[in-house]
């Protein structure tokens, strides 16, 4: 079972990652975090099917902070490439994506990306707030 959602800024993205890390009942397998000019894309994949109640609760939470996203074909191919184990750097080069994190939900990788990005620019874009 997987969910793909768009988030407007880093704060919302980090809130979801924190939620996934704190809710030990959710069988989170892989979370892919991609930064785009206009926001963040997250693909959340679970190791097993969620119960109906877990699914509804998780969807409600996602809908509160994000927007369901239907990836275009190149992004679908990039996500598939990551799933089959291709190196992240290779996938980023091929599909021209900023893959911030892929694997277990990782708060630190997102924070580090945000810090390095804003340091290089000298200001903080809205999507990194």
Residue spans per domain, the chain: 2-128
Q: What is the mean pLDDT of residues 97-115?
A: 86
Average pLDDT over the chain reads: 89
What are the tens digits of pLDDT across the range 19-34? 888 876 778 779 999 9
The distance from CA 33 to its chain's CA centroid, rounded to whole angstroms, is 3
What are the tens digits of pLDDT across the range 16-69? 998 888 876 778 779 999 999 899 999 999 988 889 999 999 999 999 999 999
**Strand order through the sheet with 39-46:** 67-68, 2-7, 39-46, 28-36, 98-103
| Predicted local distance difference test score (pLDDT) of residue 128 | 62
Domain boundaries 2-128, corresponding CATH code: 3.30.70.1950
**Could you give the CA distance from residue 10 to residue 40 in angstroms, rounded to a whole number?**
7
**Could you give the CA distance from residue 66 to residue 11 in angstroms, rounded to a whole number?**
11
Q: Where are the alpha helices (DSSP H) in the chain?
A: 10-22, 52-65, 73-83, 88-95, 107-121
| Predicted local distance difference test score (pLDDT) of residue 89 | 95
| Predicted local distance difference test score (pLDDT) of residue 12 | 94
């Amino acid at each position: 079972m997987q969910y793909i959602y768009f988030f407007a800024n880093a704060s919302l993205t980090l809130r979801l990652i924190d939620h996934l890390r704190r809710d030990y009942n959710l069988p989170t397998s892989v979370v892919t975090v991609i930064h785009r000019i206009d926001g963040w894309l997250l693909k959340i994949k679970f190791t097993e099917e969620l119960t109906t109640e877990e699914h509804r609760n998780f969807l409600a939470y996602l809908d509160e902070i994000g927007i369901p996203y239907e990836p275009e074909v190149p992004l679908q191919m990039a996500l598939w490439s990551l799933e089959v184990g291709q190196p992240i750097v290779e996938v980023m080069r091929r599909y021209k994506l900023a893959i911030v994190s892929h694997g277990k939900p990782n708060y630190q990788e997102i924070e580090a990306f945000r810090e390095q990005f804003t340091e290089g620019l000298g200001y903080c874009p809205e999507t990194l707030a």
